[in-house]
A and B are shown apart, each in its own frame.
Chain A
Amino acid sequence: MTDVSIDLAKPRHASIAQWSRGIGALTVIGLMLPLFTITIPNFMTVGNITNIGLQTAILLLLALPMTLVIFTEGLDLSMGAVLSLCGVVLAMQLVRGHSVLVACVCSCLVGWVFGAMNGLCVAFLRMPPFVVTLGTFGIAQGLALAITDGNAVSDLGPAIESFYAAKVLGIPKLILISIAAYGLFHVMTYHTVLGRYAIALGGNRNALVTSGVRANLYLFGIYALAGVTAGFAALCLIARTNAGHPTIAIGMEFDAIAAVVLGGTQLERGKGWLFGSVLGVLAIGILRNGLNLAGVDTALQLIAIGTLVLIVVWLGARQKGASQ
């Protein structure tokens, strides 16, 4: 019992040990930021910084719930496809003339259905998350393709454009939304039982169940939350692209997983750090943006990020091995 309570109390405040966890993300940011600033003339401009902010805002909305899912030793490979599907649904509602709010509620509902499906299979039926979410990935992708016939949904009307252009104190609304989302997730992770149990689920599920916690219910909730957040992220995605494309976000789940891993969250034992995921998202955002500006192939970006993820996971595994 004492073990569990220590485990639960640990990640409350960021300490030096925690900052060192995000070493992967910090290294990338620390190396890339000066490099890009020097070599690419229009990197450090207000326009480009805003651009990075907008790009990372959507990714952060995926990475935050992904962090919680990975805390529980799970993984959600369906997020990119669900985000695409929700985007298509949202765009279709807008085309029909519904307000942004109604469309957003619709897409969150669709996201919830998929999250609940994942949660049901993973929590109550004890199926391995990466295969379940591979299945729901196919279901979401197929639905998105089928309802659009594979075409993009465009002509969304002025409401979403004005939502995208809206600024508060000169900062685009999308960036503020993602910051608010971080605040919400921070409180949820470190100041509510949901977050504590998420960490404990990865640490020692049996201990949690033995102490009388309805662990499955919380696990289900975390996957459902991931679905809803993907549905909400669709709003930001559609606002940015101004069209709903059925496969636009496929692969974004990998960026989200990469961001979480770079931020120092380990795939086992519920060891992690929510703010690390913000650093990870920034690292991925800066890397992609800078490489784009430098004219580096998307192909090389994929290779770079994939290799980075494998290296960071390897280092994490080594650290764990050394501490045992």
Chain B
Amino acid sequence: MSTTSKTAMKLPLEKPQRLKLSNDSHGLLMRLAMLLVLCSALSAVAENFLSISNLSNVMRQASLLFIIASGATVVMIAGGIDLSIGANVTLSGVCAALVVQATNSPALGLCTGVFVGAFVGLVNGLLITWLRLPAFLATYGMLWILNGVALYLTHGAPIFGMPQGMRMVGTGFLWGVPVPVLIMLVTLATGALMLQRTSLGRQILFMGANREAAFLSGVPVGRNLIGIYMLSGLTAGLAALIFVGRVNSADPGMGDALVLPAIAAILVGGTSLAGGSGGLANTLLGALMLTLILNGMNLMAVKTEWQPFVTGVVLVLAMLADTAITYRKR
């Protein structure tokens, strides 16, 4: 092997000395600082920002956003994109709610949500690897198909009233910590371990950095891709359960407004669209920052109608920063 290819491959395959949450600790620290600045600014401007109820509200919202974005982060690290996460949340939530209503068994409902989510991810993965469709088009087409299926199953009407077991996932507490926050921590830990400590994680980073080279080095690119998209679907299903538990209903438009903030959180966190860099800790910080901005707007009595506008602006700004950084690195 020549020296040049050795150095090119060294970066993603290099075994880390200790467990790191991200391969970009400098960017992570910078974002942590930004987060602290944002927090202090908000506590100075809005007096009830630091109240326990508001902070736990922020954590709940951020945990939902993080869980949706976590699977999509892995997809983006591998150099793909999943635009179907929002519609997947809708469909998984609707299916879980329907099963719960029919059987009155929360356990069965929870399993259904996660299973449907993962199955949708599997279909995405197969479309992209077997049929060789471009990732953005396959997941964009799936977005509308999933919306259609959810609309068909519910006949356009929301499903109200979940049993206690389902509500627990969204609103309950375990050891004094909200359940969604616990799920978020578990997702973060497993995801970060997977990305940093397993060969699969190294392969994912490698695939994102240079898919061709990864394929030629014997990385099972197709199999990994299917797994990654399934993971993204799985976290979407998990998020759907939390969402349904929190609002106590499932309706056929519930996931529509989630894609934009999820992608924005990933990009704000610093995971590059080009793939090969970033991590789940980044997305956690991104989700926290975005939630804080939206929460601050709420506290300052800005109309909720402005939220998609601000999220869109944040997304474009984050992309600008990403482009600037990639450009500087070149």
* Among B105-113, B143-151, B162-170, B173-181, the stretch in contact with A: B143-151
Interface centre among A127, A140, A146 (most CB of B within 10 A): A146
Report Cα–Cα, A125/B318, bound state, in Å. 13
A96-139 interface code vs B (CB 8 A; 1 in, 0 out):
00000000000000000000010001000111101110111111
Instruction: Evaluate contact between B138 and A146: CB separation under 8 angstroms.
Output: no
Interface of B is mostly: helix
| B40 lies within 8 A of chain A by Cβ | no
The smallest beta-carbon distance between A297 and chain B, in angstroms, is: 6
The smallest beta-carbon distance between B153 and chain A, in angstroms, is: 8
Report Cα–Cα, A126/B136, bound state, in Å. 17
Q: Which chain A positions have C-beta within 8 A of B319? A: 121, 127, 131-132, 135
Q: Which chain B positions have C-beta within 8 A of A297? A: 151-152, 155
The smallest beta-carbon distance between A314 and chain B, in angstroms, is: 5
Partner of A146, one of B149, B263, B306: B306
Instruction: Evaluate contact between A121 and B137: CB separation under 8 angstroms.
Output: no
A121-B319, A301-B148, A317-B131 given; A149·B305 CB < 8 A: yes
Partner of A307, one of B136, B145, B147, B323: B145
B112-133 interface code vs A (CB 8 A; 1 in, 0 out):
0000000000000001000111
Contact count band on A: 35 or more
Q: Which chain B positions have C-beta within 8 A of A179? A: none
Q: Which chain B positions have C-beta within 8 A of A313? A: 133-134, 137, 141
Interface of A is mostly: helix
Instruction: Evaluate contact between A306 and B315: CB separation under 8 angstroms.
Output: no
Q: Which chain A positions have C-beta within 8 A of B320? A: 121, 125, 127
Q: Which chain A positions have C-beta within 8 A of B138? A: 310
Partner of A303, one of B149, B303, B308, B315: B149
Q: Which chain B positions have C-beta within 8 A of A298? A: 148, 151
Instruction: Evaluate contact between B306 and A314: CB separation under 8 angstroms.
Output: no
A134-B260, A254-B144 given; A303·B152 CB < 8 A: yes
Instruction: Evaluate contact between B134 and A131: CB separation under 8 angstroms.
Output: no
Partner of B149, one of A128, A135, A299, A301: A299
Report Cα–Cα, A138/B131, bound state, in Å. 30
| A29 lies within 8 A of chain B by Cβ | no
Which A residues, 242 to 286, have Cβ-Cβ distances below 8 Å to chain B?
Answer: 251, 254, 257, 267-268
Instruction: Evaluate contact between A306 and B308: CB separation under 8 angstroms.
Output: no
Report Cα–Cα, A302/B141, bound state, in Å. 10
Instruction: Evaluate contact between A136 and B316: CB separation under 8 angstroms.
Output: yes
Which B residues, 282 to 330, have Cβ-Cβ distances below 8 Å to chain A?
Answer: 303, 305-313, 315-316, 319-320, 323
Partner of A138, one of B83, B140, B273, B312: B312
Report Cα–Cα, A309/B140, bound state, in Å. 10
Q: Which chain B positions have C-beta within 8 A of A77? A: 140
Q: Which chain A positions have C-beta within 8 A of B136? A: 75, 130
Partner of A137, one of B81, B156, B260: B260
Instruction: Evaluate contact between A321 and B132: CB separation under 8 angstroms.
Output: yes
Q: Which chain A positions have C-beta within 8 A of B83? A: 130, 134
Report Cα–Cα, A297/B154, bound state, in Å. 11
The smallest beta-carbon distance between A198 and chain B, in angstroms, is: 19
Instruction: Evaluate contact between B151 and A138: CB separation under 8 angstroms.
Output: no
Partner of B323, one of A117, A126, A134, A300: A126
Instruction: Evaluate contact between A150 and B305: CB separation under 8 angstroms.
Output: yes
Instruction: Evaluate contact between B305 and A135: CB separation under 8 angstroms.
Output: no
Instruction: Evaluate contact between A135 and B312: CB separation under 8 angstroms.
Output: yes
Q: Which chain A positions have C-beta within 8 A of B315? A: 131, 134-135, 138
Which A residues, 123 to 178, have Cβ-Cβ distances below 8 Å to chain B?
Answer: 125-128, 130-132, 134-143, 145-146, 149-150
| A305 lies within 8 A of chain B by Cβ | yes
Instruction: Evaluate contact between A299 and B259: CB separation under 8 angstroms.
Output: no
Instruction: Evaluate contact between B263 and A134: CB separation under 8 angstroms.
Output: yes
Instruction: Evaluate contact between B147 and A143: CB separation under 8 angstroms.
Output: no
**Nearest A residue (CB) for B134:** A267
| B142 lies within 8 A of chain A by Cβ | yes
Q: Which chain B positions have C-beta within 8 A of A321? A: 132
Report Cα–Cα, A75/B137, bound state, in Å. 10
The smallest beta-carbon distance between A130 and chain B, in angstroms, is: 5
Instruction: Evaluate contact between A306 and B303: CB separation under 8 angstroms.
Output: no
The smallest beta-carbon distance between A98 and chain B, in angstroms, is: 24
Report Cα–Cα, A125/B151, bound state, in Å. 38
Q: Which chain B positions have C-beta within 8 A of A303? A: 145, 148-149, 152
Instruction: Evaluate contact between A125 and B323: CB separation under 8 angstroms.
Output: yes
A127-B319, A310-B138 given; A138·B152 CB < 8 A: no
Report Cα–Cα, A142/B304, bound state, in Å. 9
A142-B306, A142-B309, A267-B134 given; A306·B144 CB < 8 A: yes
**Nearest B residue (CB) for A306:** B145
Report Cα–Cα, A215/B311, bound state, in Å. 31
B3-34 interface code vs A (CB 8 A; 1 in, 0 out):
00000000000000000000000000000000
Instruction: Evaluate contact between B316 and A300: CB separation under 8 angstroms.
Output: no
Q: Which chain B positions have C-beta within 8 A of A117? A: 316
Instruction: Evaluate contact between B303 and A146: CB separation under 8 angstroms.
Output: yes
A131-B263, A302-B147 given; A142·B316 CB < 8 A: no
A302-B147, A314-B131 given; A141·B308 CB < 8 A: yes
A308-320 interface code vs B (CB 8 A; 1 in, 0 out):
0110011001000
Report Cα–Cα, A310/B134, bound state, in Å. 10
| 8 smallest beta-carbon distances between A and B, as pairs | A142-B309, A138-B312, A302-B148, A142-B308, A299-B152, A139-B312, A299-B151, A306-B145
Extra 18 A-B pairs, beta carbons < 8 Å, given A135-B313, A137-B312, A138-B264? A75-B136, A121-B316, A128-B273, A134-B83, A134-B263, A135-B312, A139-B312, A141-B312, A142-B310, A257-B140, A299-B151, A302-B144, A302-B147, A303-B152, A305-B144, A310-B138, A314-B133, A321-B132
What are 7 inter-chain pairs, A to B, with CB distance below 8 A?
A: A134-B83, A138-B260, A145-B309, A299-B156, A303-B148, A306-B143, A310-B131
